[in-house]
Amino acid sequence: MKKEEKKLLIEEIEKRLQSIEQGTLLFVDFGRVKANSIAGLRKDFRKTGVFYKVVKTDLLRIACKNLKIKVDPNLFKGNVAMATFAGEPTELAKKFSEIKDEEGNLLFNFKGGFVDGKWYDTNEIGALSKLPPKSILVAQLLYLVNSPISRLVTVLSKPQRDFVTVLNQIKENIQPGAV
């Protein structure tokens, strides 16, 4: 590879690394992916808005050094692909954790990544892939916050409901003309 080509690739990597504050950037090991299946995966990635690119570890190391970005040194060992996504971090992590071969083995292994500018290691990205989307987490939180309030309203309104029920029963038991 010529020096000019390497410079262009380093600039492209740096451009992706500079955008880590606004979205999600994951690094994955693609060693188990077969060459004939990667074209279909890339097409699927493009449809869902995921940018996926295999990068040379030396060029990635240079780009990280130029931008003074601290990452796990294990990132520079083995095969590395970079994936960026502007949507929910859990969606990108789930997408890579759900891609399996015929025997059910994962095709991609997480090497780490950035979510909203913060570095997450392999285990943290794996845990992130198991979380539900943000909208569901917010709904669950709102339910938990709202639940005690609605129970309180139910408890406070029970005496009035019981009183009205007793009055209705008395009214039904009184015979017409008895008054």
* 179 pLDDT higher than 60: no
The residue-averaged pLDDT of 114-129 equals 88
Q: Is the pLDDT of residue 178 over 60?
A: no
Query: Residue 111 burial (CB < 10 Å; 0-12/13-18/19+)?
Result: buried
pLDDT at 177: 59
Q: Which of 19, 134, 13 is nearest to 81 (CA)?
A: 13
Report pLDDT digits (tens) over 84-109.
Answer: 888 888 888 888 888 887 777 788 88
The 10s digit of each residue's pLDDT in 1-14 is 788 888 888 888 88
Q: Domains of the chain (ranges plus CATH)?
A: 3-131 (3.30.70.1730), 132-179 (no CATH)
| Averaged pLDDT score across all residues of the chain | 85
pLDDT at residue 83 is higher than 60: yes
Residue 80's pLDDT band (cuts 50, 70, 90): very high
